[in-house]
Amino acid sequence: MEVIPAVDIRGGRCVRLAQGDYARETVFGEDPIAMARRWVSMGARRVHVVDLDGARDGQQANAAIVRGIAAAVEVPVQTGGGIRSMATIHATLGAGVDRVVIGTAAVKDPELLREAIAFAGDRLIVSVDARDGRVALQGWTEATDLDAVAFIEELRDCGVRRVVYTDIARDGVTDGPNFAMYERVTRAIDIAVIAAGGVGSVQDVHRLGECGVEAAIIGRALYTGDIDLAEALAAVQGAGA
């Protein structure tokens, strides 16, 4: 299993939101590129970058910083936020990013989803962000009645190979992941699952591995020091990841 540090960007700075609330922002650094370098220097083998402005507003706002991160680190970078057209997908993957993440567009634009699957294949991730089991869109600001598990099944049937599942209520608060949901999805659906939201300890990382997820994205707990990245990486490597 992979442990993937998160670098969330808003207004050009490295931040974390609590439960997806843009009014509950904590700034952890003025230089997201330096932050990505820091995690890689500590052993990270992949970095997860989110353009929070883009996720909310519908178009990339921090693309230059994302490109800078991809150029500055020698590990794969995956990124999402405001990626809602094939032109943006082409440009992002062409700029050295390894994987592109779409969320809102996967729900609102089925044709784009089909084109993205055909073009990007394994380099496409669909972000399934849920509150109380229902998918949320537009940087988590728009609620829907779409059942998250049923949606993941639809994605699998369409040819999507990998999803990031985030329980919004747990994100940015380190209260522990929604283990029951991860177990449900990994056992019922043949799709690679990356866990995000609420990872607050190395024990959480261990348990996620037992749930069968491919990777765990860790944000706030790394920035606050609740999780030591080197320790988390050693833990999953020791478990045979």
How much of the chain, in percent, has pLDDT values that exceed 70?
A: 94
> What value does the mean pLDDT of the chain take?
91
CATH-assigned architecture of domain 2-238: Alpha-Beta Barrel (3.20)
Q: Reduce the secondary structure of 95-156 to three states and give it as a string.
A: CCCCEEEECHHHHHCHHHHHHHHHHHHHHEEEEEEEECCEEEECCCCEEEEEEHHHHHHHHH
Q: Which residue has the higher pLDDT, 104 or 228?
A: 228
Q: Assess whether 147 carries a catalytic annotation.
A: no
Q: DSSP of 40-56, one letter per residue?
A: HHTT-S-EEEEEHHHHH
Name which of 19-23, 42-46, 74-78 the model is least confident about.
19-23
Q: Which residue has the higher pLDDT, 237 or 194?
A: 194
Q: Do the beta carbons of residue 126 and residue 151 sit within 8 Å?
A: no
Catalytic residue (one of 31, 57, 109, 129): 129
* 19-41 average pLDDT score: 88
Q: What share of the chain is helix, strand, coil (3-state, %, to 5)?
A: 45, 30, 30
| Cα–Cα nearest to 129, from 156, 160, 151 | 151
Predicted pLDDT of residue 170: 67
Cα 177 from Cα 196, distance rounded (Å): 8
Quick one: pLDDT band at residue 20, thresholds 50, 70, 90? low
pLDDT in tens, 150-206: 999 999 999 999 999 988 876 655 568 999 999 999 999 999 999 998 899 999 999
Name the most confidently modeled range: 152-161, 219-228, 231-240: 152-161
3-state secondary structure of 20: coil
6 beta partners: 48
* 234-241 average pLDDT score: 74
Label the pairing between strands 124-131 and 134-137.
antiparallel
* 122-137 average pLDDT score: 91
What predicted TM-score, i.e. pTM, was given to this entire model?
0.91
3-state secondary structure of 10: strand
Q: Assess whether 129 carries a catalytic annotation.
A: yes
Predicted pLDDT of residue 241: 46
